[in-house]
Structure 1
Amino acid sequence: MQQHDSHSAAAATFHQILAREDWQNQTITHLNRLPAHPTFASWRDTDAARKNQPSAFRRRLDGQWQFSWARSPFDVDARWLEDDLPDSRSTPVPSNWQMEGYDAPIYTNVRYPIDTTPPRVPEENPTGCYSLTFSVDESWRTDGQTQIIFDGVNSAFHLWCNGEWVGYSQDSRLPAAFDLSPYLQPGDNRICVMVMRWSAGTWLEDQDMWRMSGIFRSVWLLNKPTLHLCDVQLTPQLDALYRDAELLVNLSVAAPVALLEALTVKIELWDDDRLVASHQQLPGSPIIDERGSYAERAAIRLPVERPALWSAETPNCYRAVVSLCRGDETIEAEAWDIGFRRVEIKNGLLLLNGKPLLIRGVNRHEHHHQRGQVVTEEDMVQDILLMKQNNFNAVRCSHYPNTPRWYELCNRYGLYVVDEANIETHGMVPMNRLSDDPAWLPAFSARVSRMLQSNRNHPSIIIWSLGNESGGGGNHEAMYHWLKRNDPSRPVQYEGGGADSATTDIICPMYARVERDQRIPTVPKWGIKKWISLPGEQRPLILCEYAHAMGNSLGNFADYWQAFRDYPRLQGGFIWDWADQAISKT
């Protein structure tokens, strides 16, 4: 009887959650999702962090999960929260369910794959029900905070643990983390993930690509100690001579105020086995406002003499280790590869370390002909090596943030990256219908702010992009100014505002001709030679897309490159695109 009552209560809660239809509301970008942060591993000693050894406190949940498919969320049996449904079968995670025999992949460029009015999506909304049973060490259950992190789920999902609802997230291309600590139990634990193919977020994801669904990136468990680092921002800065440097570290600590006085934060900068610089101090920030002081924050400047500079040609990386300590004890350490480089625009030129860049770039989707949108580290390394062998030096993440490992590889191998927000509304009429609607500002802004908060520590990222083909509107203006305030160390680009847009530091048209103007009424495109000569125009020009390579073998390529060499402010471009999005499936 008690078990029946428990099931009835869980079923009632399940149906109440579905009745809210959170996925139909663009203002609900998440429920209970943790703030975005850089990739953490939560080492418990600095040596392991420095050497980037596998962390005992970060565990991958990839593998075989149980999966069942339904035509809509409302067709899912609530008993799934307790046990797998009769039609469930084993499926790999990560994967796209369309590549595993369920539902149909859809390829479309401009036209949306759904025919409803934003933010609504169809009631018949294919839904994947994933479940996994796992156990954790007792210390993970009783000490600190145990997070579950989904690197990518398309397009929105609800999460349950041991029958209790945990939270909700949309935005298919950025990590979503939740605190599992209150829900874990001794022995086996069961998580259930309900993934909706369509959500309000779908209206912001109208990219030219296959439309697929599922848990298509890795899933992780991360155990953070009770006292832990909850955010770390690393900003390398060079002096005016591009010779000496400092590492600006802004961090925040999760700890009761009463314990903060016993803690210190330590910053170490390593060049392989050589300690380059270090500093240790109490947490504490001079910031004071109506809340009072911020004792859990710290801003530290670490001087570095004559570091080896980072560029695509010389990707010199240092290992920055940030530790939270109590006396001689290391409570937690986090670490990242960083590079000292300075990105700026001066006299109409995009400069890296004081020298003009010539972008030999390419647009790249995350795609594999057998796995759909699931890419492995081997796939990524192969792409990078092919790019380097063929003299590419830059890649545009078209048109969304990539899997976190991609940036780490670009740091080490040496590629300049344009990191692009997961925003495209190409099929809207007019195209800026959503970007100029204040009701959509929270959804737009979350995608840009979380991209910055997740990826800002990577030296390979030299430019932020507000998205792709979404027209121009007030939401872009708000996002542009937010990025400039929160990261003045990088320029921001966006093509969609047209010739006179003030929301881009770089003129970044797509398919502008070398000589000939294209007098499109809404967004005229001048010949690129003429464009940089317009009265009052002082920005560099880098084509975000050009030389469309799908079947025409880079037409007029020599003309473009002659112009790039003849006109210093024409600083290259990104070929469309790296690889055909073919799939070996009928």
Structure 2
Amino acid sequence: MLKPRITATRELVNLDGLWRFAVDKPAVPQPWHALLDGGTEAAVPSSYNDLFVDPEIRDHVGWVWYQRTVRVPRGWAGDRILVRVDAATHAGRVYAGNTLVAEHQGGYTPFDADVTDLVVAGEEFRLTIGVSNELTNVTIPPGSVTVAQDGRRSQKYLHDFYNYAGLARSVWLYSVPRTRITDITVVTDVDGTAGTVDYSVETSTAAEVRVRLRDEAGAVVAAGDGANGRLRVENAVLWQPGAAYLYRLEAELFDGDVLLDSYPLDVGIRTVEVRGTQFLINGEPFYFTGFGKHEDSPVRGKGHDDAYLVHDFQLLRWVGANSFRTSHYPYAEEVIEFADRHGIVVVDETAAVGLNLAVTGGLSGVGTKPTFSPETFGDQTQAAHAQHIRELVARDKNHPSVVMWCLANEPASHEDGARKYFEPLVSLTRSLDPTRPITYSVVMFATFRNDKIADLFDVLSLNRYYGWYLDNGDLASAERNLEKELRGWAERFGKPLIMAEYGADAMPGLRSVWDIPWTEDYQQAFLAMCHRVFDRVDAVTGEHVWNFADFATAPGIHRVDGNRKGVFTRDRKPKSAAHDLRTRWKLARRPASPRSSGS
């Protein structure tokens, strides 16, 4: 899945800005792809929920509609013309005039709509995009819709972040030649001091393919002919965590001497491998330091914002983080590209969060219904999950910063049916990309004694909250229990352990000389306790604090204006714990891997 780019043969128009906006009203049926009226406008990209003060918009369940007039550049005659929606959360429909041209399920991966036969170069057309925020037992992520006695619809879901919706990423109009490159796949390796780049170029119709690889100075370092081949780079500069180096692959299609299409792709030469309890990048042990994050900011919700992107990466660098997990969905592709350019390692996660009905049972971990069944999460859910995996891998397979796929966050991996559900998804992921390890984030209910799928995965990512949800306020007991569990996982499975989540809520400015939960001091003490344990367990190969910054959640008695486990506030001010992490990760010069692979 190639991201639209401006090249010698392709053009691109950004459609971000203010769009006409309306919420769907089932009681007043109308053709929403017709001209919208009412004067309401919404910003793209952004989630619509926090833009307005009207609770009927913020809490709306169902379809909303965006619309604008688009002029096709007059030079595009003879090309294919497409609309690209980078994300429509959680389902999208695209209309050109009155004609439905595309539908898509899944809120965090892009899709295209071909409008060639419905528009004219140099003229305008009406573009309408519908977005639905409804979640059901057959969507990823899952949820349910309830109807109150007065007819109000309410969206319920099993994840602990606000269900922001709308066009949270950019919308584009772009042109491509009729004979064009449709996809490129690269796989890199290292052979002594040389690097290799295996490439595959897919085309719409047969054409002559030529490929060049340039270094960062623009010099050609390798070239090849044909749709498939291997490029060898002598004395290659490798893409390294903290030291990104990107070559540029230029793929071109020719008919004789006539250029038909061209597409550039940044390539980082590097290898990824799991060996014993070590995670290796370029053959060297790597220790993950960083966070689970969220696409979340005031007013914009999950709307992508380049200013926040730059500032967040500055804070990652300041605190000494070398990585993050895209919890709990694929982030905007601009985020992954930025990580490519700046040497930040990414664990790329699907939107499969909430596949766990045990959360309704509280800390007992006993749900009222089995998680995996035809009536709850069955074949249709699994099929939707599989499609999410296909689209995620298709979008991000060529990014060097992405070193591992995370297939789900906190599924009910301890329940009957988990293996039947996940084993085909693991096989699918390996068939789509055999080069990267895979993981899943393990919920606290699933232990090394009862988990049913851990052996299927390469790395075990553990979400553990001893000292917060368990042993709250008792860090001595929390330290003993956390170490006991980590050693149990290490001894049973002998795989790398990443602490994918550990953290404690802290209200900025709330202080105490005692270990009182919700204070900044307790958050500091909690993290220090966890780090002592990690340093004693050799199999631990990474630590991702939950969370990078405070974020919005559904309102309720368990949250005070959102989730407060961030070490930065929602507007990115550091809490005291951020300074402690900086000391551990950066100022103390923690090595990439502090231990050997032995237990």
Whether contact under 8 Å (2:290, 2:324) holds in the other structure is yes
TM-score (norm 2): 0.76
2-structure distance, mates of 1:93, 1:304: 42
Secondary structure class of the residue paired with 2:387: helix
Letter in 1 for 2:159: Q
Structure-2 residue corresponding to 1:290: none
Deviations 1:476-509, CA, capped at 9 Å, x for gaps: 2111111112212110001348434233211211
Q: Which of 480, 487, 490 is residue 532 of structure 1 equivalent to?
A: 490
Structure-1 residue corresponding to 2:290: 361
2-structure distance, mates of 1:504, 1:538: 12
Whether contact under 8 Å (2:141, 2:351) holds in the other structure is no
Q: Which of 69, 74, 87 is residue 133 of structure 1 equivalent to?
A: 69
2-structure distance, mates of 1:275, 1:348: 39
Whether contact under 8 Å (1:364, 1:395) holds in the other structure is yes
Whether contact under 8 Å (1:365, 1:399) holds in the other structure is yes
Q: Which of 386, 389, 404 is residue 463 of structure 1 equivalent to?
A: 404
Secondary structure class of the residue paired with 2:395: helix
2-structure distance, mates of 1:358, 1:132: 48
User: Per-residue deviation at 1:376?
Assistant: 1.0
Distance 1:432 1:574, change over 3 A: farther
2-structure distance, mates of 1:401, 1:336: 20
Whether contact under 8 Å (2:89, 2:166) holds in the other structure is yes
Whether contact under 8 Å (1:515, 1:529) holds in the other structure is no
User: Per-residue deviation at 1:448?
Assistant: 0.6
1:479 and 2:430 aligned: no
Letter in 1 for 2:499: L
Across the aligned residues of Structure 1 and Structure 2, the Cα RMSD in angstroms comes to 2.8
1:273 and 2:218 aligned: yes
Letter in 2 for 1:190: R
Q: Which of 39, 46, 51 is residue 95 of structure 1 equivalent to?
A: 46
Whether contact under 8 Å (1:145, 1:223) holds in the other structure is yes
1-structure distance, mates of 2:299, 2:34: 33
Distance 1:326 1:58, change over 3 A: same
Structure-2 residue corresponding to 1:188: 124
Letter in 1 for 2:213: E
2-structure distance, mates of 1:330, 1:585: 56
User: Per-residue deviation at 1:131?
Assistant: 0.9
Deviations 1:525-562, CA, capped at 9 Å, x for gaps: 9521342123xx22111111113354442444334334
Select between 456-465 and 128-137 the one with higher mean Cα deviation.
128-137
Structure-2 residue corresponding to 1:40: 4
Letter in 2 for 1:40: P
User: Per-residue deviation at 1:204?
Assistant: 2.7
Whether contact under 8 Å (2:479, 2:529) holds in the other structure is no
Whether contact under 8 Å (2:140, 2:352) holds in the other structure is no
Select between 429-438 and 263-272 the one with higher mean Cα deviation.
429-438
Secondary structure class of the residue paired with 1:153: coil
1-structure distance, mates of 2:434, 2:355: 29
Structure-1 residue corresponding to 2:394: 453
1:548 and 2:548 aligned: no
State the percentage of identical aligned residues: 22
User: Per-residue deviation at 1:268?
Assistant: 2.4
Whether contact under 8 Å (1:495, 1:504) holds in the other structure is no
User: Per-residue deviation at 1:272?
Assistant: 2.5
Deviations 1:92-129, CA, capped at 9 Å, x for gaps: 1112221221664999xxxxx9xxxxxxxxxx844312
Q: Which of 204, 207, 210 is residue 142 of structure 2 equivalent to?
A: 204
Q: Which of 351, 358, 378 is residue 437 of structure 1 equivalent to?
A: 378
Distance 1:554 1:452, change over 3 A: farther
Structure-2 residue corresponding to 1:11: none
User: Per-residue deviation at 1:381?
Assistant: 1.1
User: Per-residue deviation at 1:76?
Assistant: 4.2
Structure-1 residue corresponding to 2:471: none
1:318 and 2:247 aligned: yes
1:395 and 2:324 aligned: yes
Letter in 2 for 1:179: D
TM-score (norm 1): 0.78
User: Per-residue deviation at 1:566?
Assistant: 4.3
1:507 and 2:447 aligned: no
Distance 1:128 1:44, change over 3 A: same
Q: Which of 179, 203, 225 is residue 227 of structure 1 equivalent to?
A: 179
Whether contact under 8 Å (2:161, 2:551) holds in the other structure is yes
Structure-1 residue corresponding to 2:437: 491
1-structure distance, mates of 2:460, 2:237: 31
Deviations 1:202-240, CA, capped at 9 Å, x for gaps: 65374321112211110011211011000111111123x
2-structure distance, mates of 1:415, 1:447: 24
User: Per-residue deviation at 1:274?
Assistant: 2.0
1:58 and 2:4 aligned: no
Whether contact under 8 Å (1:272, 1:318) holds in the other structure is no
Letter in 2 for 1:69: V
Letter in 1 for 2:44: V
Structure-1 residue corresponding to 2:587: none
2-structure distance, mates of 1:138, 1:70: 34
Secondary structure class of the residue paired with 2:491: coil
Distance 1:512 1:569, change over 3 A: farther
Pairs aligned (count) = 490
2-structure distance, mates of 1:105, 1:329: 56
Whether contact under 8 Å (1:549, 1:576) holds in the other structure is no
1:170 and 2:105 aligned: yes
Secondary structure class of the residue paired with 2:424: helix
1:334-373 matches, cutoff 5 A: 334-373=263-302
2-structure distance, mates of 1:574, 1:409: 19
User: Per-residue deviation at 1:412?
Assistant: 1.0
Whether contact under 8 Å (2:45, 2:170) holds in the other structure is yes
Structure-2 residue corresponding to 1:50: none
Letter in 2 for 1:93: V
1-structure distance, mates of 2:429, 2:408: 13
Secondary structure class of the residue paired with 2:196: strand
Distance 1:105 1:318, change over 3 A: farther
Task: Name structure 1 gaps, 5 residues minimum.
Answer: 1-36, 46-55, 108-112, 114-123, 282-297, 519-524
